[in-house]
Amino acid sequence: MALIAALQMAAGPQVQANLMEAGRLIKEAAARGAGMVVLPETFAMMGADEADKVKVAETFGNGPIQTFLSQQARKYGVWIVAGTIPIRSGDPARSYAASLMYDDKGKVVARYDKIHLFDVMLSENQEVYTESDTTVPGNNPVVVDTPFGKVGMSVCYDLRFPELYRRLSEQGAQILVIPSAFTELTGKAHWEVLLRARAIENLCYVVAPGQGGYHVSGRTTYGHSMIVDYWGRVRGVCEKGAGVVLADIDLEALEQTRKTFPVLSHRCPKDNINQGTS
């Protein structure tokens, strides 16, 4: 078994302050035995405006945020899934929301660019989000072979699209990481039930760190970072503020369950399902 940590933050507009807080939490998780730590979405920058993140976007492979992550991985001997950081695109007004994975030597071993972008209006209080104004979507699902298991990468709004997680589990994923910054409104309604659903339907562990608190933009994020096992059981949760959630990943138990409850092998190919009308 291995320990994986989900780190919860309430990031602000100052990159250096956010990195200091991330470093404190990484240190705590490593001291408690975590071999992999997963940071929340936008852990290095949540500004007053969505465009603020583009101003601090880095070239892939070079920049203070990426240097910090590499140094932290080496310093504590842990693997890091770096939530999301803004990576420059060909569009000066938009960056990629890139989730980078570092090994314990500080080397980038994977990059996932968030596919589904949060363009919604929450009618109850007229909150409007148009992530596509400042973010270029990715298009490639990513599964990474790690010492802790095969990790399928995703980010926040991706959670609402089960077809992505089907692709990841078909590619062998045993652990799904979902760094997020869910709103208070949608989090209360859907966060836990969606996380547990993704875990159950794919017989995977889910590691879901989130932002949790009030931000200078006026946005309140839901928090409730949690780790869910392959049977849908919540193994740990941090409700609000900064914190660390730790849980054991037992791949032996997971694979035994997949053998005795072989739901993944019972999927019907699309061509075998009648497309009838009613």
Q: Which residues are catalytic?
A: 41, 114, 156
Residues 217 and 238: their CA atoms lie apart, in Å, by 23
Give the number of other Cβ atoms within 10 Å of residue 39's Cβ. 30
The number of C-alpha atoms within 13 Å of 35 and in the hemisphere containing its C-beta is 10
Dihedral angle sign, alpha carbons of residues 126, 132, 135, 141 = positive
Residues 68 and 22: their CA atoms lie apart, in Å, by 10
Q: Which residue has the tokens 């314990």?
A: 104
Closest CA to 30 of 8, 11, 4: 4
Listed in sequence order, the DSSP H helices in the chain are 15-31, 52-55, 64-76, 162-170, 184-186, 192-202, 251-260
Residues 143 and 202: their CA atoms lie apart, in Å, by 14
**What order do you get walking across the sheet with 175-177 strand by strand?**
142-146, 149-153, 175-177, 205-208, 225-228, 234-238
In degrees rounded to 5, what are phi and psi of residue 256?
A: -65, -40
Residues 66 and 62: their CA atoms lie apart, in Å, by 6
Q: Give the distance from CA 14 to its chain's centroid.
A: 21
